[in-house]
Amino acid sequence: MEDFIAGLPKCELHLHIEGTLEPELAFELAARNGLELPYGSVAELRAAYSFDSLPSFLRVYYEGMRVLRTEPDFYDLAMAYLSRAAAQNVRHAEIFFDPQAHTGRGVPFDVVIRGLRRAVMDAGARLGVRAQLIMCFLRDYQAEYAMATLLESLPYKEWIVGVGLDSDEKGNPPAKFADVYARARQEGYLLTMHCDVDQDGAIEHIRQAVEDIRVDRLDHGVNLLEDQRLVELVLERGIGLTCCPISNGHVTGSMQAEGIRKLMDLGVRVTVNSDDPAYFGGYVQENLIALQEALQLTAEELAGLERNAFEIAWLPRAVKDAYLAEVDVHLSSTEL
């Protein structure tokens, strides 16, 4: 089964590029930029990658990314991720980035996006991995700041496929960003947002995202199960969920495997993704393996998860169809 998963053509839809910062690269970038890390070794830093809630994770995540300063830093970060992704047979990745976490510390938007874009182009040409960028707003800051970031992104619109919303959800509902999302849609961006697992008001946040803001996708969103009417709405609209089992384990104490199973059985377009793999200790392949072990998924079911992902990816129909055909070839050429 592990060989089947390794060879399965994959589509990653929930991946924060800043969450792919491995301790080795953090040390390298710190040295390059003349910064001191408050850790004596890679092992010590890795040991500090430990959390039991969304806020405790976010503290470590924002502290870690301070080593990212220059265009080559962002290029190296994204290239390191895309090389790993290629090795796991990821064929397409839609990558979140958090511009405000960088512009807020004096790194220009242009520096961030040029480094990421150059890696996306090189990975496409050299590694055969397709990728596109999703710009996230930090929901624990004011909506006006998100709007200013949206306006700042407009000259780079061709390099950004959509917008997302992340960071600390407590007290920061989707409704706070209704105007920002309306403008983003007007500008041609596709829309997704985090509805993190078991946060205060989770099901009301999902309702706002689906009914009021009318997102194209939901990130996490497992609490959808609490409202049958919303399940039906999500089914009717074909909205996909980007679930992250290993991340769930760290943030909520459970991979939410049973919830994911129920969503699959209801026909919701569930996908399996890695969120912040350097911090949570698992890229997409490890997430698929963990879920397969928890639910005893069959090869057909695993292929179904990747079909869902290519289906809800923000790609032209013909491109999706080519990837879906690759999944079918892998399934039919495997005997388990």
Judged by the rule CB under 6 A, the positions of this chain that interact with ligand ADE are 16, 19, 54, 61, 166-167, 194, 196, 247, 275-276
* Tokens linked to 317: 């129909």
Residue 317 C-beta: closest distance to Zn ion, Å: 27
Residue 94 vs 275, nearer CB to Zn ion = 275
Q: How far apart are CA 286 and CA 266, in angstroms?
A: 25
Residue nearer to ligand ADE on the CB measure, 254 or 334: 254
Q: Is 98 in the site for Zn ion (CB under 5 A)?
A: no
196 binds, among ligand ADE, Zn ion, none (CB under 5 to 8 A by kind): ligand ADE
DSSP for 208-242, written as a single string: IIIIIS--SEEEE-GGGGG-HHHHHHHHHHT-EEE
Is residue 306 at the binding interface for Zn ion, with CB under 5 A as the rule? no
What radius of gyration do the chain's Cα atoms show?
A: 19
Angle (CA) 98-54-308 rounded to 5° is: 70
Which residue lies nearer to ligand ADE by CB, 22 or 196? 196
Rounded to a whole number of angstroms, the minimum distance from the CB of residue 19 to ligand ADE is 5
Task: Please state, in angstroms and rounded to a whole number, the distance separating the CA atoms of residues 82 and 84.
Answer: 5
Nearer to ligand ADE, 137 or 323 (CB): 137
* Distance in Å, CB of 245 to ligand ADE, minimum: 12
| Least distance in angstroms from the C-beta of 221 to ligand ADE | 12
Indicate the residue type of 292: Q
167 binding partner (options Zn ion, ligand ADE, none; Cβ < 5 to 8 Å by kind): ligand ADE
In angstroms, what is the minimal distance from the CB of 206 to Zn ion? 15
- Rounded-to-integer distance, Cα 61 and Cα 49, Å: 9
Least separation in angstroms between CB 325 and ligand ADE: 32
3-state SS, residue 134: strand
Q: Which is nearer to ligand ADE, 167 or 271 (CB)?
A: 167
**Cβ closer to ligand ADE: 20 or 292?**
20
List the one residue from 199, 275, 308, 330 that touches Zn ion (CB under 5 A). Answer: 275
206: CB partners within 8 A, 6+ apart:
195, 218, 221, 223, 224, 227, 230
Separation between Cα atoms, residue 62 and residue 287, nearest integer Å: 23
